[in-house]
Structure 1
Amino acid sequence: MSTPAFASTGDLAEKKVSFTEVGPGLWAYTAEGDPNTGVIIGDDSVMIVDAQATPIMAQRVIEKIRSVTDKPIKYVVLSHYHAVRVLGASAYGASEIVASEKCRGMIQERGAEDWASELGRFPRLFQAAESVPGLTWPTVTFNGKMTVYLGKRRVELLQLGRAHTAGDIVAWVPDAGVMFTGDIVEYHSACYCGDGHFNDWTHTLEAIAAYSPKALAPGRGDALVGETMVAAALAATKDFVTSTYRPVSKVAARGGSLKEAMAACRAACDAKFSSFAIYEHCLPFNVARAYDEALGIDTPRIWTAERDREMWAALQG
């Protein structure tokens, strides 16, 4: 059997973009499993949640925003540090770029390596990569909670726990009961867990559920409008995370190999999740991280373009 094309290098088809209103003045830019961007329109300005991978990709979001408001974009919020989420930030001309203090630390620690890694994995998402001016640096950081007022509209930026990364935050808009979660929640898309914290992730999902969102914009997949869809997405994300970690941790505990862990993960996950966007892309990275966490490695090892290729050859060969 031939080795599958590395990561998402074979995924070249353009995705259909949707721009969905998830609450009054609240929008989700989605694209069939590609990274989503959230838009929060206040009385006097606009907040973006996650910026896309390049300024050219971000320009597509701006075109959608300008179809519904001419208010200035004042804030870009980074839900976490990954390149596909942050490197397009310069396009918005925002006066502030906001992230958790931990997210900024992760950009410092591993941002350059992640940029090279993600560009190699998913070239289609980095259209006009040469337009990226450099790493995106937050201008405002916080720990725990930060409140931002867009005129009268209040937005709460919350660190509810580790999940997709150690620096994850969500944006909660209490007047509408709407939450923007970044990649803590996915919908019909695989969770990328290569920098994740499996044993914390489910508790973070429970913390999100405690807010009883009426609508939710996930990191990938369709906007979730209505409590039924929100609950289904939270349950499916929890199932994905636990179904990935549990079989891998059992293999690690008995001293089995990474290749055996991959087989055990497939046995638990393929039937349920193989139709999800980026499933095959994520699988080996997820297994590698789950194996490390099961062995007590709390801080995810840094992925580099070289490590990506070595791991892919070992597990997807």
Structure 2
Amino acid sequence: MASWQYTKGLHDIGNGIYAYLQPDGSWGWSNAGLIVDGNQSMLVDTLFDLKLTEVMLSEMRRATAAAERPNTLVNTHANGDHCWGNQLVEGAEVVASRSSAEEMAEVPAAMLAQAMQMAPNMGPAGEYLLRIFGDFDFNGIGPVAPTRTFDGELTLHVGGKTVRLIEVGPAHTRGDILVHVPEDRVVFTGDILFINGHPIVWAGPVSNWINACDRIIAMDVDVIVPGHGPITDKQGVAQVKGYLAYISTEARQHFDAGLSAMEAARAISLDAYASWTDAERIVVNVNTLYREWSNDSSPVDFMGLFGQMAQLASV
């Protein structure tokens, strides 16, 4: 595949396919995409806040007239850094998996905006929130629910291009989807792929996520646009799959030995992934695995997890 520069902004992949990248790909710095054929266009995800999304949309409009009013907006999953700019894409049909639509309604931007206001008084967890999300503005973001949902697979068209939406969640979140453009040998993966950064398993099971990686590897694609990090190829997918398999095996050994999830997160060596950002996400990943193995369906203590990540990030 071509060697794509990992620089902020719009990258022309060719034949009406664009990727919008936001280095360094850490918390909130997500990627998006644009698919164009003739005067038709599809936007793949918006960004974490309105200012960032407007900058992206302006750059897309300068690149192609078809981006002036996208016909369709696909949200790959429910995390805010992939959908909280939706209100700026007026008139588009908004498509997501049914599970993603449900999850979007549960975690509105106002919830994080309130948490950020309270963060200075929340101790280490609040300090961590300010560090990772302090560059974003969550005010004024209104919920924009998908106008079309689906389960499994859905085929759409952008002009003469076929676009396949393939549900592979629950994995990163409850309703992750891949956006595959077969004729252009391109797939947008949402947060099934974090390249050069530690993935974070909010939902699981990890086995579903590994299966999603296998599904991408089996595709006839040359260009793979991840949810975070640089454009990649199948080698990048294999690295994410390897990470997920590794932490699952390591965490299981500690689970069987009776260690707590936090003890296991501290004990698992991440030396093989030392160059990847956000190593503290191992806290969430192990917690999700432990909950699966314990059949624990109680509400997740998200603030507690952010506090534990703060502890590891300060080591």
TM-score > 0.5 by shorter chain: yes
8 Å contact kept, 1:45–1:73: yes
* Shift in Å, 1:102: 0.9
* Shift in Å, 1:314: 6.4
- Residue 212 of structure 2 aligns to a residue in which SS? helix
One-letter amino acid of the counterpart of residue 54, structure 1:
D
* Shift in Å, 1:48: 1.2
State how far apart, in whole Å, the 2-side matches of 1:272 and 1:43 are. Answer: 45
One-letter amino acid of the counterpart of residue 274, structure 2:
S
Which residue does the alignment assign to 1:213? 221
Structure 1, residues 168-204: CA drift from partner, whole Å, max 9, x if none? 1011111111100001012112111133321211111
Matched, 1:254 2:257: yes
Which residue does the alignment assign to 2:282? 283
8 Å contact kept, 1:83–1:114: no
Residue pairs, 1:105-184, within 5 angstroms? 105-111=102-108, 115=112, 121=129, 122-126=132-136, 128-133=137-142, 135-184=143-192
State how far apart, in whole Å, the 2-side matches of 1:92 and 1:157 are. Answer: 20
8 Å contact kept, 1:160–1:169: yes
Report the RMSD for the aligned CA atoms in angstroms. Answer: 2.5
Aligned in 2, Cα 1:23/1:59: closer, same or farther, shift over 3 Å?
same
Aligned in 2, Cα 1:316/1:214: closer, same or farther, shift over 3 Å?
closer
One-letter amino acid of the counterpart of residue 186, structure 2:
V
* Shift in Å, 1:206: 0.8
State how far apart, in whole Å, the 1-side matches of 2:183 and 2:92 are. Answer: 24
8 Å contact kept, 2:261–2:283: no
8 Å contact kept, 1:248–1:264: no
Q: Which moved more, 1:242-251 or 1:107-116?
A: 107-116
State how far apart, in whole Å, the 2-side matches of 1:96 and 1:49 are. Answer: 12
One-letter amino acid of the counterpart of residue 263, structure 2:
E
Aligned in 2, Cα 1:23/1:253: closer, same or farther, shift over 3 Å?
farther
Residue pairs, 1:217-232, within 5 angstroms? 217-224=225-232, 230-232=233-235
Aligned in 2, Cα 1:113/1:125: closer, same or farther, shift over 3 Å?
same
State how far apart, in whole Å, the 1-side matches of 2:301 and 2:148 are. Answer: 26
Instruction: Give the TM-score normalised by the residue count of structure 2.
Output: 0.83
Unaligned runs of 5+ in 1: 1-14, 225-229
- Residue 105 of structure 1 aligns to a residue in which SS? helix
Which residue does the alignment assign to 2:8? 17
- Residue 31 of structure 2 aligns to a residue in which SS? strand
State how far apart, in whole Å, the 1-side matches of 2:35 and 2:97 are. Answer: 19
| Deviant stretches of 4+, over 6 Å | none
8 Å contact kept, 1:252–1:295: no
Length, aligned pairs only: 290
State how far apart, in whole Å, the 1-side matches of 2:155 and 2:115 are. Answer: 31
Which residue does the alignment assign to 1:11? none
State how far apart, in whole Å, the 2-side matches of 1:18 and 1:55 are. Answer: 16
* Shift in Å, 1:113: 8.7
State how far apart, in whole Å, the 2-side matches of 1:286 and 1:43 are. Answer: 43
* Shift in Å, 1:125: 5.0
8 Å contact kept, 1:253–1:295: no
Structure 1, residues 90-133: CA drift from partner, whole Å, max 9, x if none? 1122421110011112223445697459866332452x321312
Unaligned runs of 5+ in 2: 1-5, 120-128
- Residue 224 of structure 2 aligns to a residue in which SS? strand
State how far apart, in whole Å, the 1-side matches of 2:203 and 2:115 are. Answer: 13
State how far apart, in whole Å, the 1-side matches of 2:206 and 2:240 are. Answer: 11
Matched, 1:192 2:192: no
State how far apart, in whole Å, the 2-side matches of 1:185 and 1:198 are. Answer: 13
- Percent identity of equivalent pairs: 24
